[in-house]
Structure 1
Amino acid sequence: MKMRRIDHVVLTVSDLEQSRRFYHEVFDMPVIDQQTKPGVVTLRCGHQLIRLQKADRDALVARKPTVGSADLCLVANDPIDAILHHLKSYYVDVIAGPVDRLGAEGPMQSIYLHDPDQNLIEIAVYENK
């Protein structure tokens, strides 16, 4: 079996509306209206989806869905300086970076922040991309 890519990830959040606003407004992720999944907010991130759910959701979930336990890397096209300026305009604190990292496609620069539930979000910009 050969995996091709990740289709979506699910983040467990404490407040669906607060997290929806954060990911939609700060990261400009379009909200996808998914009537088939009540209690879930779905956002588009490039060719993948990020789904937000509450820990007490009565559905097929991880054994122990936990708020604030994710560590996620998002790839951006903008220069790091522009990203830093954008985050500052939304009063989002950068907790580390820019730092050099090696990602799935090679060398990149990354900055780190927390979302409203304290998930660790890495924003990466690839060199030569």
Structure 2
Amino acid sequence: MVNLGLTRVDDELVAKHPGLESYAACQSHAFMKGSGTFVLGVAGLFAVQMALQKKVPYPLQWNLLVSIVGSSVGSYTVTRWETQKCSDLWLLLEKGKVPDRSLPQLSNPEESKGTGKTKYGDVMD
């Protein structure tokens, strides 16, 4: 039996999806990494702002606000990257291939040869 959070998953479902335990461990690691990023980010940004406050004094509430907002953005970004890796792992375990996440290449439009006419009847060079 595999545990996903506080719930237990039936053996029947685990047999149908053999990568479920690896995926669950990966997701747990991703969320813990995001939580750690938040905590360390708040502490780090707060310490940097306290050092800077000697040169540019401003209220403590702004230190806390900037630290929390900045760390939230960083934590979200880290968690999103790690979760994407877990999704790729799940697809690899289930289908045997990883999706191509590269940006699609835009084709260069061919230049028209000769003169053309617009919908208004004007001749273009």
Alignment TM class, shorter chain as reference: under 0.3
Is the strand fraction higher in 1 or 2?
1
Q: Point out the structure with the larger helix share.
A: 2
TM-score, normalised to structure 1, is 0.19
Higher gyration radius (CA): 2
